[in-house]
Amino acid sequence: MVQASTVADKTKSIIMTKSYIIRIMLVCSLLISFQPRLLSQSDSLIIAARPDSVITKDPIHSLFTGAGYGSNMIWLGSTISQDQPYGFGSITYGYKDAFYLSATAVHLHEREPFAAFWIGSMNYSHVFNSWFDISAGFYRYQVANQLTDTLFTSFNYGDITIGVDWKLIYTKLSLGTLFTSESKPYFQIRNSRFFQTPAFFRGKATISFDPYINLLFGPLTIIESSTDTIIITSFPFRKNGLGGRNSSGKTTTSTVTNLDYSTRFGIMEAAFGLPVSINLNKLTIEAEPGYILPLYKDSYFPASKGFVFMLSCYIRIL
């Protein structure tokens, strides 16, 4: 059986053999409803353009601002906040309820500077009919210079999504990629069911529920020795993306020989969530409890798993 220290040694060997220069971006059009919701928390960090509850009559221009808190930011099978709480503030401009530009500042607990990284995004969506829609997004994730060695390197990400409404459930199929020297695809299947209460508070408020299940597929690294086989997910946001990560979020590396490794495309994790929103005329308050379940073998470097939580508030200015 390979010991933890040996596995750490393997990781460095892999890194030296295959150096990923990663510039990644967070699927975060962090406005108006954290979708993981990629914060699916797997999307857990993928975000929808805005909450339907605050849209009125197809305005040409719209402007939103928001703020929130989360227990852990998990995206593409890895923790961006290194298993730490985070807070965020965002502003989003919308054009004809179809094109959105968003900027988000994220603060990490006990990290300096105050804004550890920024998220910029462009999103376009088009609804063809009552059951079919498409969308596309491009995202930039910019980390503070003094945190590039401890968090990750700045990166870009793009995705295309198809939405199908089956009446009983709403399915989103999303294909995305990190723009790196060796880009690899990520695929997500998200099934949800939206419910909303009748209006109350003199017709000015509703409560909505949007439970979902999200499955994430992507590149998995297989490490083989004469005594063991280990399957891990690389932390794609570091310069050395194949570095192992322990439960504390620290990267461990050493040197070892006689290792075989390869990459395959497979299922990475399942995410379950139950967003609950209180919707007023121009205000949405949302709480999203969720659970992350890794679906690959990673006994030496445990993936982030378990319960996650996010609380957010969004206000429509225009």
Note whether residue 242 is domain-resident: no
Write down the residue that tokens 């429509």 correspond to: 316
Q: What is the pLDDT of residue 87?
A: 96
Domain count, the chain: 1
Give the tens place of pLDDT for each residue, 289-304. Answer: 999 998 876 555 556 7
* Beta-carbon count within 10 A of 201 CB: 9
Number of residues written out for the chain: 318
Residue 162 falls within a domain, yes or no? Answer: yes
DSSP string, 176-230: EEE-STT--EEEEEEEE--EEPPPBTTTTBEEEE--EEEEEEEEEEEEE-SS-EE
What is the model's pLDDT at position 254?
Answer: 40
Q: Is residue 258 part of a domain?
A: no
Which residue from 140, 163, 114 is spatially nearest to 29, judged by alpha carbons? 140
**pTM of the complete model beyond 0.85:** no
CA trace torsion 204, 34, 31, 172 (10° rounding): -100
> Does some domain include residue 239?
no
pLDDT > 90 fraction of the chain, expressed in percent and rounded: 49
149 in a domain, yes or no?
yes
**Could you tell me which residues come within 8 angstroms of residue 263 by beta carbon, excluding any fewer than 6 positions away?**
184, 219, 220, 221, 222
Lowest mean pLDDT among 22-31, 115-124, 130-139: 22-31
Write down the pLDDT at residue 213. Answer: 97
Find the CATH number of the domain harbouring 59.
2.40.160.40
Average pLDDT over residues 22-30: 34
Nearest to 229 by CA among 264, 200, 197: 264
Within-domain flag for 265: no
Q: Which pLDDT score, from 0 to 100, does residue 59 have?
A: 78
What is the Cα–Cα distance from 41 to 307, expressed in whole angstroms? 10
Residue whose pair of structure tokens reads 């892999």 in the numeric block: 14
Please tell me the distance from the alpha carbon of residue 87 to that of residue 76, in angstroms, as a whole number: 20
- Residue 132 confidence (pLDDT): 97
Residue ranges making up the domain that contains 50? 22-218+273-295+304-316
Q: What is the pLDDT of residues 252-270, one digit of tens each?
A: 444 445 677 777 888 989 9
- Per residue in 90-127, pLDDT (tens digit) is 999 999 999 999 999 999 988 889 999 999 999 999 99
pLDDT digits (tens, 9 = 90+) for 213-256: 999 998 887 777 766 666 666 666 655 444 434 333 343 444 44
Task: For residue range 51-83, list pLDDT tens digits in order.
Answer: 444 444 567 999 999 999 999 998 888 888 888
* CA-based radius of gyration for the chain: 20
In eight-state DSSP terms, residue 129 is S
Structure tokens at 202: 């003199």
Pair 307, 70: CB distance under 8 Å: no
Q: Does residue 255 fall inside a structural domain?
A: no
d(CA 38, CA 280): 25
For the CA atoms of 120, 211, 133, 285, the dihedral, rounded to the nearest 10 degrees, stands at -50
What are the structure tokens assigned to 166, written together?
């089956």
Tell me what pLDDT residue 219 has: 86
| Cβ partners under 8 Å of residue 45, min gap 6 | 26, 27, 28, 34, 36, 38, 39, 73, 74, 75, 80
- Residue 264: exposure state from Cβ atoms within 10 A (0-12, 13-18, ≥19): exposed
Per the domain annotation, does 246 fall within a domain?
Answer: no
- Alpha-carbon span 231 to 251, nearest angstrom: 17
> How confident is the model over 145-197, as pLDDT tens digits?
998 888 888 889 999 999 999 999 999 999 999 887 767 789 999 999 999 99
Q: What percent of the chain has pLDDT over 70?
A: 69
Is the Cβ–Cβ distance between 51 and 37 less than 8 Å? no
Q: Which of 224, 247, 231 lies closest to 79, judged by CA?
A: 247
Q: Yes or no: say if 266 and 220 are a contact pair by the CB < 8 Å rule.
A: yes
> What secondary structure does DSSP assign to 235-267, as a single string?
-TTSSSTT-EE-TTS-EE-----S-EEEEEEEE
